[in-house]
Amino acid sequence: MAGRRRWSTDEILDAAAELLRTSDADSFSVRKLAAVLGTDSSSLYRHFRSKTELLRAVADRILLTAMEGYRPEGDWKQRITTLALRLREAFGRHPQLAATWGRYASSGTGSRLIMEEVLQALRESGLPDEEIPTHYHRIAVLIAALIASEAGVSTVSPTEHEQGMELFRVAVLGADPDRFPALAHFARDIHPLSADRPAAFEALLTTHLTHLERRGVGQGREKRT
């Protein structure tokens, strides 16, 4: 009797990414993945010691995809912005994995490539070395939060979206002006969280980078080699 097929690490990650398209990190399990592959969990544990390690590896592949063909261009702000938009696009194709990335921090090659590029850009900004790790962390948290938030909206079904819109209209347009005077005043101009996400993404990132620049960070430190 022929033995079960031996799956490669890349094949396992491909199958895991596909399974995560229709589920999330909480409902995902090594057992379910093994069933999809027609094998048993023990064979997958030869490649990954735990579910968390597997999820980190899947998320890291998205980071690698985002870095494919990337070349640093422009000043430090443009480099970080371009990188953030690449990440947004990559996770936009795999929205279920966006929350996975935020929850299960990757330590693979993709993660290191992202970290290296952001750190290099910050070094060119003129920021003192002792401040770079702090600002790197803030930028990373901001980008991850924005991507996860946008991805969460994209996974909502049309029916759920319409229900949410109706609740929003009731809550905002029907606000009691005596109790909520400001809300009533701006009601027709307030938009739900799902509206115009791309513009909000870029505006928030630009605001943060401009804040660094205004602190004297981007005043032209000599480029390091």
Q: Can you give the pLDDT of all 225 residues of the chain as single tens digits?
A: 345 677 889 999 999 988 887 777 678 889 999 999 998 888 899 899 898 899 889 889 889 999 999 999 999 999 999 999 999 999 888 887 887 787 766 678 999 999 999 999 999 888 889 999 999 999 999 998 888 888 777 666 778 778 888 888 888 888 899 999 999 999 988 887 777 777 888 899 999 999 888 766 545 444 444
Q: Are 94 and 21 in contact (CB under 8 A)?
A: yes
Residue 80: inside a domain: yes
Q: Is residue 224 part of a domain?
A: no
- Same domain? 121 vs 170: no
Quick check: is 85 in a domain?
yes
Judge whether 225 lies within some domain: no
Q: Is residue 221 part of a domain?
A: no
State whether 89 and 175 are in the same domain: no
Q: Are 164 and 192 in contact (CB under 8 A)?
A: yes
pTM: 0.79
Assess whether 183 and 104 both reside in one domain: no
Residue 162 lies in a domain: yes
CATH number of the domain residue 85 falls in = 1.10.357.10
Q: Could you tell me the residue range of the domain that residue 129 belongs to?
A: 9-156+194-214
- Cα 223–chain centre separation: 29
**Is position 219 within any domain?**
no
Please indicate, yes or no, if residue 4 is contained in any of the structural domains.
no
